Amino acid sequence: MLSAPAAAWSSWTPPEWVSSRRLRYGLIGAAALFIAAYPLLSDDRYYQNMIILSLVFAIGATGLNIITGYGGYVSLGQGAFIGLGGYTAAILSTKVGGNPFVWVPVAGVVAGLFAAALGVIAMRARGHTFVILTIVFLFLLQIVAINWRELTNGTAGLTMPLPRWSPDIANWPFYYALLGLLVVSIAMSWWIRRTKFGMGLVSIREDEDKAETVGINTPVYKILGFVASTVFVGMAGAVYGYYLSFVDPLGMFNILLSVQIILSVLLGGRGTLWGPVLGAFIVEPLNEFANNSLGGGNARLLVFGGLMALVVLFMPRGIVPAISEFLERRRTRGRAGLVGERLGAPIELKEREVPTAPAAVSGQTLLEVKNVAKRFGGLRAVDSCGFAVPEGSITALIGPNGSGKTTLFNLIDGTMPLDSGEVWFDGRRIDRQRPWNRAHAGVGRTFQITRLFKEMTVLENVVAPIREFRLRQLNADAVSGPEAERAEELLEFVGMLKYRDVPASALSYGQQKLVELAQVLMLDPKLILLDEPAGGINPTLIERMGDMIRELNSRGKTFLIVEHNMPFVLGLCDPVRVLGRGKLMAQGTPEEVQRDPRVLDAYLGDDFAVEPQVVEA
């Protein structure tokens, strides 16, 4: 039984304004105003100091959020960039003299350069190498700061020139410099999340392999993302150094700075714009509390460590997403979920003029696979296989299960390296190119089991692909403007426009197939590889899929289609290539292939069922 207040609480439905944007921006505005006005309102140095430190951590956390929250790569060395900035300012101001207005930006550049160098080493590999190298990097810098005495004065540290302004406003310049840096950091984070670059970073977090196939040059994205994560942090570190007027290796390269930054991102909500800032303003007061009331040192470790473990285990998405989810749940309670309601509606299939005549097959070869082989241990998945796809055709690639069709797709789009042989596309040899280069050359590919970026909306999924690698493309607005309009056109074409703001994970399988097609079309590819476009979807949708393929073909797109639905594929495609045991077994028109005894044998006969597979060691 619930007590009366508890019952009232559990049945409480927040009014509309609670989750409205106006409230959110009102709260943020009020907090910003308070922080901006605080030094004018109060002379309390203790709280000014606490806010200054919170600002430093908020800048660190907003930066870290770009590579960790958007890109999905955790860095345990974010604090090192505060140290780098502090040391840059300290060394330059003590050795060269000069003005903070010069050295603070220089510190940002130095931090960015170090991040670029570390990124070049760590970001070419996938997975855990990066997080490990960030720790190693932090300790390496600390050791250098301790040992390179001529430059850093060792463990004794460097004392920086004291400010010359009036003591009445002693903290103001630091305070407002950091506030300004935080505003710029948040603006950058906001802008990145809106651009094609930001979409690319998030898609790397969601599925790095898939991201490569839609043209995203993942190492460059990750390195740029890492640099963006650190530049303002380096500048904040420099201001922090001037504020302390003293830097030493143990303070500046203390791993607890990193801990506090990570905890801020994690607690506030990684991947959100305001979460890291909120987190920083929670964690720093907590830090002060642990230091002053719990005895510092070990208590601080227990608080930070314990909190980090608890957040990971029980609130992995952080405060901001947790609150918005809670409000969303309350608001939609008793009704069908907002998402479910909308998804229940049948897809409107627009009547389209279906061209009767297929595009003229130019007779030129667009894709040629020459003598390609791929082995998995002793199994020859693809073995001296060769065929051509004529430009302007809808070519089918059929064959029994396990005949190597999908593996061939993986070799053509570069998801897997081939062992031997050549792949030629549009007159160029592409088999040594990385997947994103092949995508830029004009190869688009869908997957048998759809691979959308699950936490991104439908529109974001479609707008993420990159047609060519240019900075202007990266910086292009993805949420509005020409890129978004084009994505909407494509969604309209596949009949999914009304789902543009739904997360991809909420779509049915068939709907995902349609969105994935739109996503590939965003690349404007010359050749589209479709892996079982008709698999697992209903007959109406199959028909619709066929119509779309014909229409795209009439506009000049060439298709290579793997499919098991024979009426569908034989009605749609010409020519047909038949694979068997990784080799080209037969090819020709649909009629020729249907009459071919070897094909009939492979599909209907006992050849594959009974004869044991010869597996070589």
Partner 1 sequence: MTEFVQTLILGLLVGGVYALLASGLTLIFGVMNVINIAHGAFLILAAFITYSIWRAIGLDPLAGILITTPVMFVFGWVVYNLTLRRIRTGPAAATVLLTFGLALVVEGLMGIIWGNTAHAVTAPYFNESFHIGSLFLPKAQVYGGVLALVVLAVLWIVLTQSWLGRAIRAAAVNPQGAALVGVNVSAVSAATFAVGVASAGAGGSIASVLYTFLPGSHYVWISRLLGIIVLGGMGSLPGALIGALTLGIAETMTVTYISPSWATAVPYALVFVVLLVRPYGILGTRLREDVVT
- Burial class of residue 136 (count of CB atoms within 10 Å of its CB; 0-12, 13-18, 19+): middle
- Give least dist CB 402 to partner 1, A: 10
Residues near partner 1 (CB under 8 A), total: 56
Q: Pull the structure tokens for residue 282.
A: 């929670």
How far apart (Å, rounded) are the C-alpha atoms in residues 434 and 427? 17
Smaller CB separation from partner 1, 127 or 427: 127
The mark string for 450-489 relative to partner 1 (x by CB under 8 A, - otherwise) is -x--------------------------------------
Burial class (CB in 10 A: 0-12, 13-18, 19+), 42: exposed
Q: Does 151 bind partner 1 (CB under 8 A)?
A: no
Confirm if 525 and 560 have CB atoms less than 8 A apart.
no
Interaction of residue 146 with partner 1, rule CB under 8 A: yes
Q: Which stretch binds partner 1 (CB under 8 A): 11-19, 447-455, 553-561, 565-573?
A: 447-455
The candidate with the shortest Cα–Cα distance to 83, out of 305, 257, 326, is: 257
Choosing from 10, 20, 298, 371, the residue that interacts with partner 1 (CB under 8 A) is 298
Minimum Å gap between C-beta 356 and partner 1 is 35
- Residue 525, class by beta-carbon neighbours within 10 Å (0-12 exposed, 13-18 middle, 19+ buried)? buried
Q: How far apart are CA 445 and CA 464, in angstroms?
A: 15
Any contact of residue 296 with partner 1 (CB under 8 A)?
A: no
What is the closest distance, in whole angstroms, from the C-beta atom of residue 447 to partner 1 in the complex? 6
Q: Which of 162, 313, 609, 614 binds partner 1 (CB under 8 A)?
A: 313
CA-angle at 68, arms to 65 and 70, nearest 5°: 75
Q: Please identify which residue in 304, 425, 453, 559 interacts with partner 1, judged by CB under 8 A.
A: 304
* Phi–psi pair at 10, nearest 5 degrees: -70, -20
Q: What angle do CA 264, 455, 18 make, to 5 degrees?
A: 65
Among 448-456, 489-497, 571-579, 596-604, the segment contacting partner 1 (CB under 8 A): 448-456
Return the structure tokens found at 468: 């060519």
Which is nearer to partner 1, 300 or 440 (by Cβ)?
A: 300
Q: Does position 407 bind partner 1 by CB under 8 A?
A: yes
Q: Is 312 in the site for partner 1 (CB under 8 A)?
A: yes
**Number of residues that make up the chain:** 617
Structure tokens at 247: 């830097």
Strands of 420-425's sheet, edge to edge? 379-390, 365-376, 420-425, 428-429
Neighbours of 13 (CB within 10 A): 12
> To the nearest whole angstrom, how small is the minimum distance from the Cβ of residue 47 to partner 1?
27
The residue among 52, 100, 55 whose CA lies nearest residue 238 is 100
Task: Kindly indicate which of the ranges 173-181, 310-318, 325-333, 493-501 contains the residues binding partner 1, using the contact rule CB under 8 A.
Answer: 310-318
Write out the binding residues for partner 1, residues 233-292 only, by CB under 8 A.
255, 259, 262, 266
Q: Report the distance separating Cα 530 and Cα 89, nearest Å.
A: 55
Shortest distance (Å) from residue 319 CB to partner 1: 16
Task: Determine if 299 is a binding residue for partner 1 (CB under 8 A).
Answer: yes
The interface with partner 1 within residues 63-92 (CB under 8 A) comprises: 68, 72-74, 76
Q: Is 125 in the site for partner 1 (CB under 8 A)?
A: yes
- Min. distance of Cβ 204 from partner 1 in angstroms? 13
- Would you say 548 and 490 are in contact if contact means Cβ atoms under 8 Å apart? no
When the beta carbons of 203 and 406 are compared against partner 1, the nearer one is: 406
Applying CB under 8 A, the residues found at the interface with partner 1 are 68, 72-74, 76, 120-122, 124-129, 131-133, 135-136, 138-140, 143-144, 146-147, 209, 255, 259, 262, 266, 297-302, 304-310, 312-313, 316, 406-407, 410, 415-416, 447-449, 451
